[in-house]
Amino acid sequence: MSESKTHGYLDMELLRFSTAGSVDDGKSTLIGRLLYDSKSIFEDQLQAVKDASKRLGGGEEVNLALLTDGLRAEREQGITIDVAYRYFATPKRKFIIADTPGHIEYTRNMVTGASTADVAIILIDARNGIIEQSKRHSYIASLLQIPNVVVAVNKMDLVDFSEEVFNKIIEEYKEISKILKLKNVIFIPISALDGDNVVDASSRTTWYNGPTLLQMLETLPVRKDENNLPARLPVQFVVRPYSNDFHDYRGYAGRVSGGTFRVGDEITVLPSKTQSKIIAIDEGAKSLNEAYTPQSVTIRLADNVDVSRGDLLVKTNEPQPIVSANVSLLVCWLNHRPLNEGGKYIIRHATEETRAIIKAVHYKVNINTLENIIDDKNVKMNDIAHISIKTLKPLKYDSYSDNRVTGSLILIDENTFETVGAGMIVHDLEDEAFAI
């Protein structure tokens, strides 16, 4: 190696994206192609895939889909049973892929995988166009407020790289993105199998002048607005050393979840509404002047106020979150035992834990037709519903569309302790982006 690569690697940006597609849309092949063409596959991994391809009767042809098939149970059944995470880097960015299966019964995995994504890639088979599952994937991208959606029209090789087919899909999809109010939708014609427009530009789509999928992923802006949000810091842990050197040290450890905190900022502690001022921001043994999203820091305040885990630090002069025990949310149900209207659940919201009762199920969403269902309020696994809950302790929350951390919560079964629901808080559903 002539020149050290070390320096360039230390200050890359991180982009998280999820992939969703139906069973035969070629999703595994696409990820395999992305890893292979960006030279993120090592020889021993490739050899294992070659061996497996041969054993499964694929001859000498390397089946790139096998690069991402994880567990024995999956290989035997030829399916993907859970979210798998993949990693690769180019000189520009480091990428985390949440690879989520597209079967009808796995909406919960898709929600899980997409919950932290900056970009959702939705695969569409060029031969089939937009199908019900495409709508479901798009709905989930909208529900989770993923800032960017890339519609990858795959298997273009099987429709002779027809511009007409591609444009027809764009036209049809625009209907969906209008209904769902998707913000930034990008269309790319690809062939995952042959590699067209995945990493390298295709010579077979001369009519397409846009970027390849990887070029797009390398240049999309990443969560650029986070630092402009009202500042929020859910307190995780109170740091009290009780040592001679740090006798009076009392710090509030947490991750900045929106906005920026600076030394000297006037702070309100919620729910107590106690006020104080930041005198120090610590990161390990280092002291900082400011902390921004999503930094993990420890904040010290001027006054000896009562702050504990679950409290929320906000800036006094900025828009305040709502502090209320009544919460309205869209919930994605994740458990085989249906939601119990009138039942009690444990709630985990930011660093707070409390209990809640389900007061009402307002309606369910048919995410295949994008219509509301009001006559069936039985919320089963993979259903999305609008519900109201009342919590034991008041929550300090924003709407999910304003803040992904203070606007989200999970429901936990009181007996099994399983995570049974994923909730996105809505202020007033009429105004929400995902109200249909």
Partner 1 sequence: MSINRLTHLKELESESIYILREVAAQFEKPVLLFSGGKDSIVMAYLTYKAFYPAPIPFPFVHIDTGHNFEETLTYRDDLVKLLGAKLIVGLVEESIAQGRVVEEKGFSASRNKLQTVTLLDTLEKYKFDAALGGARRDEEKARAKERFFSHRDEFGQWDPKNQRPELWNIFNGKKQLGEHFRIFPISNWTEMDVWQYILQENIPLPSLYYTHEREVFERDGIIYAALPEMPRRETEPVEIKRVRCRTIGDITCTGLTLSSANSLEDIIDEIASSRVTERGGRSDDKRSEAAMEDRKKAGYF
Of residues 75 and 277, the one with the C-beta less far from partner 1: 75
DSSP-derived secondary structure letter, 431: G
Enter the DSSP assignment of 71.
-
Residue number, 108 or 155, with CB nearest to partner 1: 108
What is the smallest separation between the CB atom of 105 and partner 1, expressed in angstroms?
Answer: 12
Distances (CA, A) of 321 to 60, 162, 354: 59, 50, 18
Q: In terms of Cα–Cα distance, which of 135, 133, 128 is closest to 182?
A: 135
Nearer to partner 1 among residue 48 and residue 392 (C-beta): 48
Q: What angle is formed at CA 388 by the lines to CA 383 and CA 389, rounded to 5 degrees?
A: 110
- Minimum CB separation from partner 1 for residue 158, in Å? 29
In the complex, least distance from residue 86 CB atom to partner 1, rounded to whole angstroms: 7
The answer to whether 168 and 141 are in contact (CB under 8 A) is no
115 is written with which tokens?
Answer: 């919950």
Q: Which is nearer to partner 1, 175 or 283 (CB)?
A: 283
d(CA 430, CA 435): 6
Q: What minimum distance in Å lies between the beta carbon of 17 and partner 1?
A: 13
Nearest to 292 by CA among 232, 374, 209: 232
Q: How far apart are CA 397 and CA 401, in angstroms?
A: 11
- The nearer residue to partner 1, 4 or 203, going by C-beta atoms, is 4
What minimum distance in Å lies between the beta carbon of 185 and partner 1? 23
Nearer to partner 1, 308 or 369 (CB): 308
Q: Of 142, 210, 147, 155, give the one whose Cα is nearest residue 181.
A: 142
Q: How far is the CB of 108 from partner 1 (least distance, A)?
A: 6
CA atoms within 13 A on the CB side of 99: 23
Q: For residue 271, is the peptide bond before it cis, meaning its omega torsion is within 30 degrees of 0?
A: yes
DSSP string, 375-400: S-----TT-EEEEEEEEEEEEEE--T
Instruction: Read off the DSSP letter of residue 328.
Output: E
Q: Which is nearer to partner 1, 239 or 435 (CB)?
A: 239
Output the smallest distance, CB 304 to partner 1, in A. 17
Nearer to partner 1, 23 or 159 (CB): 23
For the bound state, the minimum distance from the C-beta of residue 140 to partner 1, rounded and expressed in Å, comes to 12
| Structural contact between residues 364 and 376, judged by C-beta atoms closer than 8 angstroms | yes
Nearer to partner 1 (CB atom), residue 95 or residue 166: 95
How far apart, in whole angstroms, are the C-alpha atoms of residue 378 and residue 341?
9
Q: How far is the CB of 75 from partner 1 (least distance, A)?
A: 8
Q: DSSP secondary-structure letter at 191?
A: B
132-143 and 107-114 helices, crossing angle to 10°: 40
Shortest reach from residue 148's CB to partner 1, in Å: 16
User: Of the two residues 176 and 420, which places its CB atom closer to partner 1 in the complex?
Assistant: 420
Residue 330, CA distances (Å) to 37, 91, 350, 370, 379 in order:
39, 39, 17, 14, 12
Strands 93-99 and 13-20: what pairing?
parallel
